[in-house]
Amino acid sequence: MDERVAIVTGASRGIGLAIARRLVKDGWRVGITARNAEPLEAAVAELGGPSYAVGVAGKADDPVHQASTVTATLGAFGRLDLLVNNAGINPVFGPLLDADLGAVRKVFDVNVFAVIGWVRQAYEGFLGRHGGAVVNVSSVAGLQPSPGLGAYAVSKAALIHLTRELSVELAPNVRVNAVAPAVIRTQFARALYEGREDEAADAYPLGRLGDPDDVAGAVAYLASPDAAWVTGQTLVVDGGLMQAAHL
């Protein structure tokens, strides 16, 4: 996969950075995004500098930022083979009926509507003419009720169905898949395990929480020629959690 190029959103840390790191290790070049410029610059340096990565700071749901990222990535590396929609937010906790509707709309703006914008920009900029792949980072919360995380869960369920819709609309030249992680040891998810990691891990048949590299490996597979006949699928990366839920 030498010289292939990807855009990974929300990639200054956590799952996004792990995905970018894995892709660079596999021979890719990457355009990465995040809201804040300073951690993004550090991520670019960690990935090997401008020969391997270009960073574009901005808000994931800003159409101007989306277009600028595609333009910058094409300008730096001359092509685009993969879009990884990893950026997501979860500012709402508690029952949906008690949630501020403005905050719920913001969750959908970033977790769902922004994905449509990113795919549109990538498709019009390169993928539509040359083919490639899209991988959306969803969540197991989108596959089953998740009390307290209702707005996030419903947005991730929408993202899974959006993946299926786009897989049909963009076929045969662009494959569209998703990954659905359970709790991953990141700053984003720390409220779900901080101070009780061993207790949280007990719920997983594989005996531990996930690491960002677990998700990165799944994304690398879906981006690779090994997944050339895979589209419209959601790969669950959960340490067996959902199987245990049915016991």
Catalytic positions: 152
Q: Are 72 and 9 in contact (CB under 8 A)?
A: no
Alpha-carbon gap, residue 201 to 185, rounded angstroms: 11
- Map the chain to HEC letters: CCCCEEEECCCCCHHHHHHHHHHHHCCCEEEEEECCHHHHHHHHHHCCCCCCEEEEECCCCCHHHHHHHHHHHHHHHCCCCEEEECCCCCCCCECHHHCCHHHHHHHHHHHHHHHHHHHHHHHHHHHHHHCEEEEEECCHHHCCCCCCEHHHHHHHHHHHHHHHHHHHHCCCCEEEEEEEECCECCCCCHHHCCCCHHHHHCCCCCCCCECHHHHHHHHHHHHCHHHCCCCCCEEEECCCHHHHCCC
